[in-house]
Amino acid sequence: MKHAMPTCYLYLCGLSLGCLLVLLSGCGPTAPSNADWTIPLGSYSAIRHSSLKQIDKTNAAKMKMAWSMSTGTLRGQEGQPLVVGNMMYFESSYPNYVYAVNLNDVGKIVWKFSPEQDKFAPSVACCDVVNRGVAYADGKILSSALDTKLYALDAKTGKVLWTAINGDPKIGQTMTSAPLVVRDKVIVGIAGGEYGVRGYITAYDLNTGKQAWRAYNVGPDQEILVDPQKTIDGATEQPVGEHSSLKTWRGDEWKLGGGTTWGWLTYDPQLNLIYYGSGNPGTWNPTQRPGDNKWSTTIFARNPDTGVAAWAYQMTPHDEWDYDGINEGVLTDSTIDGQTIPTLTHFDRNGFAYVLDRRNGKLLRANKFDPSTNWAKEIDLKTGRPVLDPDKETHEDVNVKEICPAAQGAKNHQPASYDPRTKLFYVGTNHICMDYQAFGVKYKGGFPYVGAILSMYPADHGNTRGRLIAYDSISGQTKWSVDDTFQVYSGPLTTDGDVVFYGTLDGWFKAVDEATGKELYRFHAPSGIIGNPITYAYQGKQYVAVLSGVGGWAAIGLAEGLTKGTEGLGAVGLTTSLADYTNLGGTLMVFSL
């Protein structure tokens, strides 16, 4: 199999085959030209678009199941497989089984890794015991386990090469995100924002597992790895200054400040910067933590070699609604006012699609991508701050009604797709609102540190909880949308065959026409789909693979057997009818013509 060879990647990596397999899957915003899928989001730029086109809008209706296998687990499957040469690798939800399957003999499991887990970890996983997939580099599979252990496995044998401990479940820390490998660094985040965990990302040496650096998102400058005179605040376009985080918290509240990092990371090899978002501040009761609470709900750009922040842009200062900022930053080139600019596009939980200059964090555009969004009237492009609707601000012991979007967000973890040909984003979204009542709460290690009672429901109190949209991030226009009964919690995939693939919470795997959203194909999976389809070619044939297995925050009631509407951090009442359509399960499904 031939691989394209972008010089920017070769220069950075040298000629190690393992490195090439990772880095050649995408350079900048362009689509992967090879048939593998070697990075969780398909490429460092996270566009989730493939140049494969054997399956196209004229023949997608003829797709069929090629093969499938059980994950061995019954909880939410939020990740995606990788394909490297003739091997496929994927990770299940807790207890995080990792599988290697030879595509020449798909009925046989080449190896299975079953990590020894801290049994306490599931009890502090706020929103199901999910996992977002493995990474690959230099002949190694990198796997994150719920109990915060990071494993490097021999890709041929599954043997453990090294183990790193990234946190401690006893104080509420868990790990659900996929690692990102940049040259000789394996970069991972930490979850637990609902347990008073202070968020960070950590880089480990790819060959030894030794910690290279750790950057917190809130706290003292030396711990958040900012240079007061050089790190830029994207909102002001000025250096952040000394104590940029501490001065926005009251007393020592930052020590329980949240800002966790359970989402996706991307990387620009030309600028040598990694990008990621931080989560909500702790607690959910904003009255207890006056100030902007920097740098929670923030997009960071950091040097992967040192961890030092180049810039930071806070989307939701003093977050009063649990609008985590952990969603992916998609790296493309955008034409704005006649200029071509390297941009980062981020569809935030708060309902706005942000377009930033990824060189310095300057805000270029911020448009609502869900029409129900009402907590803010707009984002002021001059100040970079939201223009709030005072009626939707939350306060201790006040039940504020009809806030849109709900805390689950107008988009949650489900990654978007970008087609360089149409210059549009294809996004699985949530169309939901909430009532929010904050209350005082005290911290105790390993116990929830939330301080709010929520009730979520469909926007406009209708029957639509989710929408698949084709969206222009520069103009803010939605070109077309497909409504769904439940949240669209699966990350769409686009291809040069002019097809969009995605799954639904009630279990339908679909292919739609990229130009119109018209349905071309549907298949009812054994369980609801919150995983992200990928595509690959093997022996001249194109395949599309996706994990089925309902759960996550979107379906926490079904996953954990909860029935009270306000349980599951307010999400249970939103999907009470989901059990009429699907059930728990875990299945890898592979389709072809």
Return the sign of the alpha-carbon dihedral for residues 359, 345, 43, 5.
negative
At residue 75, the 3 state secondary structure works out as coil
Q: Say which of 322, 324, 419, 484 is annotated catalytic.
A: 322
Cα–Cα distance, 312 to 323 (Å, whole number): 17
Cα–Cα distance, 119 to 443 (Å, whole number): 22
Report whether 175 contacts 148 (CB < 8 A).
yes
Chain mean position to CA 275: 12
Cα–Cα distance, 552 to 443 (Å, whole number): 25
Contacts of 19 (CB under 8 A, 6+ apart): 13, 137, 138, 183
Task: Name the nearest CA neighbour of 407 among 568, 245, 277.
Answer: 568
Cα–Cα distance, 131 to 509 (Å, whole number): 20
Task: Name the nearest CA neighbour of 61 among 523, 576, 383, 390.
Answer: 523
DSSP single-letter state for residue 449: -
> What does the CA dihedral 84, 87, 90, 95 come to, rounded to 10 degrees?
-130
Structure tokens at 420: 């360089």
Q: Which residue has the tokens 């989710």?
A: 466
Could you give the C-alpha distances from 445 to 122, 195, 220, 281, in angstroms and in order?
A: 15, 7, 21, 16
Structure tokens at 293: 């609470």
Q: Which residue has the tokens 């990928």?
A: 534
Long-range contacts of 207-210 (CB under 8 A, 24+ apart): 207/138, 208/162, 209/150, 209/152, 209/161, 209/162, 209/163, 209/164, 210/164
Residue 22 phi, psi dihedral angles, 5° rounding? -75, -50
Contacts of 235 (CB under 8 A, 6+ apart): 313, 314, 363, 383, 384, 385
Report whether 33 contacts 4 (CB < 8 A).
yes
Structure tokens at 253: 């509240």
Return the sign of the alpha-carbon dihedral for residues 348, 350, 351, 356.
negative
Q: In what order do the strands lie in the sheet with 185-188?
A: 180-182, 185-188, 200-205, 211-216
Report whether 215 contacts 183 (CB < 8 A).
no
Rg of the Cα atoms in the chain: 22
In sequence order, the β-bridge partners of residue 293 are none
Our answer to whether residue 322 is catalytic in this structure is yes
Active-site positions?
322
